[in-house]
Amino acid sequence: MPDAWLAAVPGVREHEPLSPHSWYGIGGRARYFVALEDDAGLAELIGRLAAERVPYLVIGAATNTLFAAEELPGLTIKLATSRLTIDGSQVTVSAGYLMPKLAADTARKGRTGLEFGAGVPGMVGGSVVGNAGAFGREVKDGLLSTEVIDPQGHVHTLSAAECHFAYRESSLKSDKPGWVVRSATFATGEDDPSRIRARIKEVQGHRRQTQPIEKRSLGSTFKNPPGDAAGRLIDACGLKGRRIGGAQISEKHANFIVNLGGASADDVLALMAEMRNRVFERFGIELEPEVRVIGRTAGQ
């Protein structure tokens, strides 16, 4: 069997259900799956996968990812690494660290600049790739550099300029398929921990008021088109509350699709297609998905 070596990698499981690894609670299976708390052997593993032509997908908390394939081929790697080093103003954090935990842990040490992480429920790796942001601040505003692994298994340090960050975009997302973020280094400022915590509370309070965080979702379904808000356009089409199967366009925020329980990837994709079509018919604007659909094309 060509993948026999893969099945023998420590921790690798076969035919792993992905819904427990999905924030949305939706997913088929992964042919092979491994959760890594230690990334020491990751570069070697990536190099071997590429050499053996085995496809792979790296995920974090899957708060931005819809698993839409019945079975994902190759290896799905979930990074659950949790290193954090604070050296003066520089904060270096592994890809598998949760953004809200990063915000809380740096606040405790009197480091400011990462409070926005309290509004991003995913991990650092996915947040670097997608230049995640909340409440006026994005990854790009503080990132100094990121340590990445290319598909040949070589480790590089990319400066923020080399990441070509833009709104929910980076060169890692658009031009470097198969590159893996291992860690990120941020510049931070100094402030009183209680003041930083107060700002985190503000971020959390705003989220509670504006987003359906009590239900499972993937956050914003579509990017905001220039000068407008996807939620406003979808709401103007009268789509709030529209339901297909177990998926519903949130009554609270029209750019969120919530899983009421038992939603399938098909339900979510059908709602996404309807949102795109209705907004295009009414406004002539093509909405671009912010969520990553794995295994199928978004909007179909």
Ligand X SMILES: Cc1cc2nc3c(=O)[nH]c(=O)nc-3n(C[C@H](O)[C@H](O)[C@H](O)COP(=O)(O)OP(=O)(O)OC[C@H]3O[C@@H](n4cnc5c(N)ncnc54)[C@H](O)[C@@H]3O)c2cc1C
Tell me the catalytic residues.
168, 220, 290
Are 98 and 23 in contact by the 8 Å Cβ rule? The answer is no
User: Would you count residue 58 as binding ligand X (CB under 6 A)?
Assistant: yes
Helices (H), the chain: 4-7, 42-51, 99-108, 124-129, 171-174, 193-210, 230-236, 265-283
Site string for ligand X, 140-179 (x = CB under 6 A): ----------------------------------------
Using the rule CB under 6 A, is 213 a contact of ligand X? yes
Q: Does the protein bind ligand X through residue 63 (CB under 6 A)? A: yes
Nearest CB to ligand X, comparing residues 110 and 225: 225
- Minimum Å gap between C-beta 282 and ligand X is 26
CB nearer ligand X, residue 162 or residue 280: 162
Closer residue to ligand X (CB): 154 or 282: 154
Give min distance, CB of 238 to ligand X, in A: 23
Buried/exposed code over 40-51 (b: 16+ C-beta within 10 A; e: otherwise): eebbebbbebbe
Contact between 23 and ligand X per CB under 6 A: yes
Rounded to the nearest whole angstrom, what is the least distance from the CB of residue 49 to ligand X in the complex?
14
CB neighbour list of residue 174: distance below 8 Å, 6 or more residues apart: none
Nearer to ligand X, 107 or 132 (CB): 132
Cβ-based neighbours of 121, under 8 Å, separated by 6 or more:
23, 61, 63, 98, 99, 100, 219
**Does 57 participate in binding ligand X (rule CB under 6 A)?**
yes
Map residue 32 onto helix, strand or coil.
strand
Q: Does the protein bind ligand X through residue 26 (CB under 6 A)?
A: no
For the residues of 174-212, what is the DSSP string, one character each? HT-TT-EEEEEEEE-EE--HHHHHHHHHHHHHHHHHHS-
Residues in contact with ligand X by the rule CB under 6 A: 23, 57-65, 79, 95, 119-123, 125-127, 129-130, 132-134, 180-181, 211, 213, 217-219, 292
